[in-house]
Structure 1
Amino acid sequence: MSLVIWAEGRMVGAGEAVMSAVDHGITVGDGVFETCTVFDGRVFALTRHLARLARSAAGLGLEAPDEGKVRDGVAAVLQEGVRADGPFDGRLRITVTAGVGPLGSGRVEGAQTVVVAAQESVMAPESRSVRSPWPRNERSAVAGLKTTSYAENVVALAHAKAQGADETILPNTVGELCEGTGSNVFVERDGELVTPRLDSGALAGITRELLIEWGTEAGLPVREARVSELPFAVLDEVGDGGTHLVLTSSGRNVQPVTWLDGVDVAVGEISREARALFETLCRERIDP
């Protein structure tokens, strides 16, 4: 399925200009977004994604996005995609910017710009990751927010891809394990699957949240880390085979890491169980 785009109430082509050249989302990255998974033409966990979209907007000092308008855009691109090729699996992105503004960082309150796009895609079953040479700033004004100011992640991911990886895992400024450029990370060791605390600077991922909820419900030993439990150096243990890694995100679901810094690494048993559980429940519970 080709890219399907809805912008400000109408369907548009991929090459069609739909935003002002001085939209603050373009000039200074003043906006928020969500990337959702589409299963059989339906958006997974849309309610949770819209709640996080509103939290990110509040964190930037933007007015709450018009949820009705966003849902109209989501419905439009799904309908267009299904009409073209039938029910599809893929990704859907919701972007909300501050709208037309000045050339500098100062903001003029006004109408927001809303764009929704969808495209068919296939998730990879595993990840090849590297350690990032750059940290995530857990004390940043936008830590934990999903904003369109993404250049830091673009540079870090390009560095990873140049080494043959598809993701890079970042520490924070105090040497704790944090997250990937577009994913959360879980560490399997000592019979548990543990993910960094949100005060590490990590994004409150929807898949992360659901894996903790569903894993706990199913009796899997999955939880958030205790204070100082996961230093970045825990990655040194992965090559020995006793510690394992999993990435989670809307573009990955629950994805074991099978290659780290150029070395093949093993997948843990709990990691396999967590992936299987999520793959089943995400289609049975489309809007948990």
Structure 2
Amino acid sequence: MTEAVLRHGDIAVATLRKPEAIADLASQYSSDRLLVVTLDVSKEEDVISAFTQAREAFGRIDVVFNDAGYTVWAEIEATPSDVARAMFEVNFWGAANVSREAIRHFREVNTPQGGVLLQVNSAGGYQGMAVSGYYCASKFALQGLTETLAAEVDPEWNIKVVSIDPGAFRTNCIAAAVMIPPHPAYSKPDSPSVKRRSLVQDPNLVLRGDVNKAAEVIYKVAGLDNPPVHLPLGHGAVEIAKKKVASLLADVEKYASWSDETEAD
């Protein structure tokens, strides 16, 4: 995403826990085009400091791309609580820290007011998936936070909030994931857990999603006057969203009349 912004001639503030990861890229651009800032989103003071540094360098921030996160692969029963909580500190609370400061900055620092908050969520925020229950839970939570932000911001502030919900793209996400040994109760060869573990650990797995092309789509979304609150990205995410909507609607219609029995006389 940083490379896409720079390719388009814009200014980028790249935030990372380990800035040396983009040392090669940083060496290609002057400080008036690319500012690299150390940031751990789970530390609120780091988030405030990063926004302050960006403001001092460039005066305003137009777009925040909120994408820190990682995956834990394990059945819910197999996931230690401390491992799940640590992931939530990044995937949800870290994203919340950045979101709050972004909205404040767009409203109180930018002149004129306005900005775009792009939340990198997941198709896993639409539908729970075997062996990634706590990851999906963190993304469901981020969906709720994002929808609420979109509903709360005053239209006069000119702030847009978008949930980018990708499907499967070729990244290092799987390789960087925390892998927990399987729970013995889910070890049947034909179980959803075993099938999904086999899929994600298949060395020959080829994912169709191209992150460079996705970055260009996201860049385009940031420039829309009226962007969507939800953007399923990739055909896999689109199909998951359609199936979730169809399944939810079917349940609602099937049992809608049951609510007739709950009305007060």
Higher strand share: 1
Structure with the greater alpha carbon radius of gyration:
2
Q: With the length of structure 1 as denominator, give the TM-score of the two structures.
A: 0.23
Q: With the length of structure 2 as denominator, give the TM-score of the two structures.
A: 0.24
